[in-house]
Amino acid sequence: RIVEALQGRGRLVGMTGDGVNDAPALKKANVGIAVAGATPAAKGAADIILTEEGIGTIITAISRSRMIFRRLETYILYRVCSSLLILGFFFFAIVTMSFEIPTWVLVVVSITNDVTAMFVSFDKVHTS
């Protein structure tokens, strides 16, 4: 009932639990976290299952998930922007100058673009 009441007020709810009695609340919460040593019912209802003791693992999980999200966000933004730039360049080159592009040039541009996009995964990301 507490989870439903908080969600009814527009709050995001995170719930930790370890037993069968916690399973419905873990399932209903926005983020259900089963602690180390939880019952199979609690693990099945949870979104995150902690394998180590202590609350510090929750903070580590949130921090790492934010870093992953930020990297994905950066990668998608890079891919969309670079694709639009390449598309615009080739479109205007073909339309305005009647420029014929050999197939191998497109392959080289695509490979170069993909290689540069891979370096985004090594970017040093800071959590918010």
Structure tokens at 36: 């180390």
pTM score, whole prediction: 0.64
Angle in degrees, 0-180, between the axes of helices 56-97 and 103-118, rounded to the nearest 10: 160
The pLDDT, as a whole number, for residue 9 is 92
pLDDT band at residue 128 using 50, 70 and 90 as cut-offs: low
Instruction: Kindly report the average pLDDT of the chain as a whole number.
Output: 85
The 10s digit of each residue's pLDDT in 12-70 is: 898 888 889 889 999 899 989 998 888 999 999 998 888 888 878 888 888 888 888 88
Asked if the model's pLDDT at residue 123 lies above 80, the reply is no
The 10s digit of each residue's pLDDT in 66-121 is: 888 888 888 888 888 888 988 888 888 888 887 777 888 888 888 888 887 777 77
Residues for the chain: how many in total? 128
Cα(95)–Cα(74) distance, integer angstroms: 31
The pLDDT, as a whole number, for residue 41 is 92
- Please name the residue ranges forming H helices in the chain: 2-8, 23-28, 40-45, 56-97, 103-118
